[in-house]
Amino acid sequence: MNYKVYVDVTATFTRDGRLIPESFVWEDGSTYEITRVKDVCRAASLRAGGVGNRYTCMVEGREVHLFYEDNNMWFMERS
């Protein structure tokens, strides 16, 4: 099973150059709002493979990880 799911993300750049994701579209077409970004760090996805900036986000009261790869693509791990 492929655990990596590429997602479309709406994001903004702040005045100081930080990239902040605001929402994403899951593979079934559902759009989810990111209510808060708790942390950003360089990390690898051990489950799905790949490395990049890992955004720890709050979505519908749950903590999720959103990865921004070096190839400028966003992905999440399928549970």
Map out the domains of the chain as residue ranges.
4-77
Instruction: State the pLDDT at residue 1.
Output: 67
**pTM of the entire predicted model:** 0.91
Instruction: State the pLDDT at residue 47.
Output: 81
CB atoms under 10 Å from CB of 66, counted, come to 23
In the chain, which residues have pLDDT < 70?
1
Instruction: State the pLDDT at residue 48.
Output: 84
The separation between CA 52 and the C-alpha centre of its own chain, rounded to angstroms, equals 10
Distance from C-alpha of 42 to C-alpha of 61, rounded to nearest angstrom = 24
Measured at the CA of 15, the angle between CA 5 and CA 58, to 5 degrees, comes to 35
Instruction: State the pLDDT at residue 49.
Output: 84
Instruction: State the pLDDT at residue 17.
Output: 95
